[in-house]
């Protein structure tokens, strides 16, 4: 069975089109990009490339300090292999003490505080994927997150 391919510019219904006038990111929404990361014809450079990066990288600090509803200032550690997530658990354990998680949701930071595994306040923070610090506004209060 042959593999059908549109391109180098075009779409599945019209595979041969001229290079669009706008080859910026907003102009390529309907056109394929070069996944091979090389020029498609000698001497004609591609203006756009697509590259998959495995595992979301998080360039944030290794630890952060956050104010909490019941525990004062707590230190959350970045979780390895879990993208941009910071976690803290009470010395008494999550059931009898509590836990806190701060994670990047793909659009902004979320601060979730729980007692006995039940979230009681979920707060929203900034939108910089590499910077979890700032003020988080929740249902009952606002919380501050800083670097130690």
pLDDT over 70 at 48, yes or no: no
Q: pLDDT by residue (tens digit) across 98-121?
A: 999 999 987 899 999 998 888 888
pLDDT over 90 at 26, yes or no: no
C-alpha to C-alpha distance for 51 and 102, rounded to whole angstroms: 28
Q: Structure tokens of 41?
A: 């014809």
Strand pairing partners for 112?
101, 122
At 143, the pLDDT band (50, 70, 90 cuts) reads very high
pLDDT at residue 20, as a whole number: 66
Q: Which of these, 33, 41, 45, lies nearest to 9 by C-alpha position? A: 33
pLDDT at residue 136, as a whole number: 96
**Across residues 25-29, what is the average pLDDT?**
55
CA distances in angstroms from 87 to 77, 78, 104, 110, listed in the order given? 5, 7, 12, 12
C-alpha to C-alpha distance for 137 and 126, rounded to whole angstroms: 10
Q: pLDDT by residue (tens digit) across 56-109?
A: 567 889 999 999 988 899 999 998 776 789 999 999 888 888 999 999 987 899
Our measurement of the distance from residue 73's CA atom to the centroid of its chain's CA atoms, rounded to an integer in Å, reads 25
Whole-structure pTM value:
0.60
pLDDT at residue 39, as a whole number: 60
């Amino acid at each position: 069975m042959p593999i059908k391919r549109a391109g180098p510019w075009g779409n599945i219904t019209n595979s041969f089109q001229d290079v669009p006038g706008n080859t910026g990111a907003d102009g390529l929404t309907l056109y394929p990009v070069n996944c091979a990361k090389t020029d498609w014809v000698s001497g004609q450079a591609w203006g756009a490339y697509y590259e998959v990066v495995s595992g979301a990288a998080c360039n944030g600090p290794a630890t952060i300090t956050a104010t909490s509803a019941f525990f004062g200032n707590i230190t959350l550690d970045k979780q390895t292999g879990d993208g941009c997530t910071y976690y803290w658990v009470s010395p008494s354990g999550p059931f009898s003490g509590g836990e806190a998680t701060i994670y990047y949701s793909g659009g902004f930071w979320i601060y979730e505080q729980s007692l006995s595994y039940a979230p009681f306040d979920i707060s929203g923070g900034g939108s910089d994927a590499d910077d979890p610090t700032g003020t988080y506004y929740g249902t009952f209060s606002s919380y501050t997150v800083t670097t130690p």
